[in-house]
Chain A
Amino acid sequence: MMQELIVEADRMNLPQVQAFIDEQLEEVGCPMPAQISIDIAVEELFVNIASYAYGNGSGKAVVQVTVHEDPLSVEITFIDNGAPYDPLAKADPDTTLSLKERKKGGLGIFMVKKSMDNVSYEYKDGNNILTIKKNLN
Chain B
Amino acid sequence: MGLFGKKDKKAASNLSSKSQLKIDDKKDGAEYTLLLEGRLDTITSPSLEAKINEAVGDASKLILDLGSLDYISSAGLRVLLGAAQAMDGKGDMIVRNLNQSVREVFDLTGFSNLFNIE
Which residues of A pack against B, CB within 8 Å?
11-12, 14-16, 18-19, 32-33, 36-37, 39-40, 43-44, 47, 93, 95-96, 98-100, 102, 104, 107-108, 110-111, 114-115
Contacts and interface: CB of A to CB of B under 8 A. Distances in A.
Interface in B32-53: 41-43
Contacts of A15: 15-16, 18-19, 43
Contacts of A33: 100-101, 104
B85 A99 contact: yes
A12 B43 contact: yes
Given A47-B42, A102-B114, A107-B109, A19 B71 contact: no
B109 A95 contact: yes
A19 B108 contact: no
A19 B16 CA distance: 10
Question: By DSSP majority rule, is chain B's interface helix, strand, loop, or mixed?
Answer: helix
Which 9 residue pairs across A and B have the least CB separation, nearest first? A95-B110, A108-B74, A107-B74, A15-B18, A104-B78, A15-B19, A36-B101, A43-B73, A47-B42
Nearest to A105: B78
B105 interface: yes
Given A15-B18, A19-B14, 6 more contacts: A37-B104, A40-B73, A44-B73, A100-B85, A100-B88, A107-B74
Q: Among B16, B84, B110, find the residue whose CB has the most chain A CB atoms closer than 10 A.
A: B110
Count class of interface residues, chain B: 20 to 34
Interface in B84-115: 84-85, 88, 100-101, 104-105, 108-110, 114
B14 A107 contact: no
A27 to B, nearest CB: 15
A64 to B, nearest CB: 20
12 contacts: A12-B43, A14-B42, A14-B43, A15-B19, A19-B15, A33-B101, A37-B104, A43-B42, A99-B85, A107-B78, A110-B109, A111-B73
A77 to B, nearest CB: 20
